[in-house]
Structure formats: C-alpha cells, structure tokens
C-alpha cells in the first residue's frame, strides 16, 4: 500500500471543542446586555471610559508580551475581558485617562508581571481598579451620574430618594441611615426598599456595570447554564452576605442588589485563575468573600467592600488549593479496614 505518514501521539486522540477564546467570548456575551444598557443610560462619558479601559488593557498586554519576546495573545480575548470588567467597575463620568491608566495597570501589573494568563495571583481588573481607587480617590467617589432623568426608574419613590441624596451611591446613603454616627448628612425617611426597583432595572448612582442587577443576574445564569462558571462561588458569596446582613438587622435584599456585589460575585470572583480549583475550595472561597465583604461594608470607612474582599481572598487561593483537595477516591474503604 502507499506509504503515508501517520501521526503518533499519546491518547486521548480526541479533544473537546472548548478553548480559552470561546470561554472568554462567552463571558463577554454574558456581559454584553448590561454593557449596552449602561451605554444607553449613561451615554458618551461611559463610552469613553469603556474605550479607554479596554484600550489600556490591550495595550498593556501587547507591550509586555512584545517586550518579553513572547507570542502576543490578544486574540484569546482575556485582555479584552479584563478591560471590559474594569470599565464596568468604574464610575461613568471618570476622566478617560484614569480609565486608561487603570487598563494598563490591570494587564501589566495585575497579569503580565506574574507571567501572563493563568499565573496571576490577583484578579487583573481589580488590581487596575485598586490602583486608580487609591490614586484618584476623589474622582472615584464623585464621578457618579448626577442627573436623575431616567425614565425607566422614574417612579415617585425614586424621585423622592434623588431629592434626598443627590449624587451619593445607594450604599453610601444607606450607610448614613443605618450608621448615622459619623455621617455628615443623614437622609431622613429613606428606606432600603425604595431602592429595589431602580437597583434591579436602572440604577443611575453606581458604576457603569451596576446599572441593572437584573441584567447581571441573567448574564450569570447564562454562564452557569453554559457551564462556563460554577454556581458555588456566586451563590455562597451572595448568600453569606445576605445572611450576615440580615443578622445585623439590615435589609439583605438591598445589600445584595447594591454596589459591586453582583458583578463581583458573578464575574470577578469566578475568574478561573484567581479562584480555587475544587468544588469544596470554591465554597470556602465564597464563604470567605461573603464574610470579608460584610466586615468591610459595615466596619470600614468605605460603604463598599467587594473589591478588597476579592483581592484579599485571591491571596488565600494558593492556600485553599493546597489544603482543600477533592475527597480522595479509595480512602473510605481504607479507613474501614483501619489502613
């Protein structure tokens, strides 16, 4: 017969069709509705933030890989996703150059310094955000949307709140309500329940990605259904926050929907590289996140605590992965036999 060359390699000889690029693309698709909706609500300023952040992330990745003479992997979509996630955690009226610095920091300091995809310890997008958060704190706390001219959320209850606390984020406003001791201004008559509808449907007082909790949840369900992310981290994280919040007599639903909790729990804490590998590890990670966020939200100066919670727990992941292993097969019987 004719001599033709046969490929010889070890098994398995077939592979799943999933690859890094497809996974990143799925996450981007899940975030698309919230992103597009945010652009509709916030308009051009948010667009510049988004553009600057993503460009910064791509540029940082490209420069580092070129500089280290490594193959450039922009096409795997991970740098784009980092830029997108960072933008979604920035205020819509942030000057574009801060977003650009954030994007550059995210991929250079958050990811490539450690050796690139799969090697970083901390969530790159949150490293970028942490750097701009501490560097330009005033911009980060005052660049929220001030106009309340949003039709969808424009109920009477909503109008009432806006009159009371123009410019403040719901978490900041409620922190003053629940904990008036250190507050400069305590909005009288403000209830957590006034915020439910705007938070779910159209929240003008938050970061770009916090515009609609509903769209974030739908995106999360899509990712869980397509098995891109595991349900354990978001569920244990949000669940822990809700339970602990309820214990302190505060409104658990409000604290679940507001701030960066949902975007953090669904899209950031589930980042593959910076979360534990095993199912058990994921549960412990989620519980730790919930506890940290609870502590930071109510016992720190900041109304928000999601970013530092995730960064803190990211640091715990190597430890979790070393000691929380999947249950060893064959151990059960050995124990029975006294082995």
CB of 34 to another protein, least distance (A): 23
Please say which residue, 20 or 154, places its beta carbon nearer to another protein.
Answer: 20
Q: Is the peptide bond before 12 cis (omega within 30 degrees of 0)?
A: yes
Minimal distance, residue 324 CB to another protein, in Å = 10
Q: What is the nearest approach in angstroms of another protein to the Cβ of residue 8?
A: 4
Is the Cβ of residue 11 or residue 188 nearer to another protein in the bound state? 11
**Binding residues for another protein, per CB under 8 A?**
1-2, 4, 6-16, 18-20, 22-23, 117-118, 230, 272-273, 275-279, 321, 325-334, 337, 339
Minimum distance of another protein from residue 126's CB (angstroms): 16
Task: Encode 210-244 in three state secondary structure.
Answer: HCCHHHHHHHHHHHHHCCCCCCHHHHHHHHHHHHH
Q: Which is nearer to another protein, 75 or 248 (CB)?
A: 75
Rounded Cα gap, residues 241 and 121, in angstroms:
24
**Tokens 């804490």 -> residue:** 269
CB of 31 to another protein, least distance (A): 18
Q: Smallest Cα–Cα separation from 273: which of 17, 12, 15, 27? A: 27
Choose between 80 and 195: whose C-beta lies nearer to another protein: 80
User: Quick one: 32 or 325, whose CB is closer to another protein?
Assistant: 325
CB closer to another protein out of 196 and 222: 222
Minimal distance, residue 81 CB to another protein, in Å: 12
Q: How far apart are CA 271 and CA 106, in angstroms?
A: 14
Q: What does the DSSP 8-state code read for residue 9?
A: -
CA neighbor of 260 nearest in space, from 165, 80, 130: 130
Q: By C-alpha distance, which of 258, 282, 269 is closest to 174?
A: 258
Q: DSSP letter at 259?
A: T
Sign of the dihedral through C-alpha 225, 230, 236, 237? negative
């Amino acid at each position: 017969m004719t001599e033709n060359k046969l490929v010889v390699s070890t098994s398995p000889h077939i592979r799943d069709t999933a690859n890094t690029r497809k996974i990143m693309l799925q996450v981007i698709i899940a975030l698309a509705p919230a992103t597009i909706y945010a652009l509709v609500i916030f308009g051009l300023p948010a667009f510049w933030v988004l553009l600057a952040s993503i460009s910064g992330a791509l540029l940082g990745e490209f420069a580092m890989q070129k500089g280290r003479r490594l193959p450039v992997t922009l096409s795997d979509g991970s740098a784009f996703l980092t830029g997108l996630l960072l933008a979604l955690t920035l205020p819509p009226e942030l000057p574009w150059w801060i977003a650009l610095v954030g994007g550059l920091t995210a991929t250079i300091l958050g990811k490539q310094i450690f050796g690139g995809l799969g090697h970083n310890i901390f969530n790159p997008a949150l490293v970028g955000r942490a750097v701009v958060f501490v560097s330009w704190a005033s911009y980060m706390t005052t660049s929220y949307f001030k106009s309340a001219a949003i039709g969808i959320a424009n109920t009477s209850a909503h109008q009432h709140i806006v009159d009371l606390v123009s410019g403040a984020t719901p978490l900041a406003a409620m922190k003053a309500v629940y904990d008036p001791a250190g507050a400069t201004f305590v909005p009288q008559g403000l209830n957590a329940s006034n915020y439910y509808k705007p938070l779910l449907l159209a929240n003008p007082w938050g970061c770009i990605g916090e515009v609609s909790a509903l769209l974030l949840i739908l995106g999360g369900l899509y990712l869980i259904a397509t098995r891109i992310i595991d349900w354990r981290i978001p569920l244990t994280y949000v669940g822990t926050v809700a339970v602990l919040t309820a214990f302190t007599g505060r409104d658990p639903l409000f604290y679940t929907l507001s701030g960066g909790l949902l975007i953090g729990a669904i899209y950031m804490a589930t980042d593959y590289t910076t979360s534990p590998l095993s199912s058990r590890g994921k549960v412990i990670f989620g519980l730790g996140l919930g506890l940290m966020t609870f502590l930071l939200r109510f016992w720190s100066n900041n109304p928000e605590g999601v970013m530092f919670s995730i960064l803190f727990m990211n640091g715990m992941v190597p430890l979790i992965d070393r000691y929380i292993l999947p249950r060893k097969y064959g151990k059960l019987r050995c124990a029975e036999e006294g082995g």
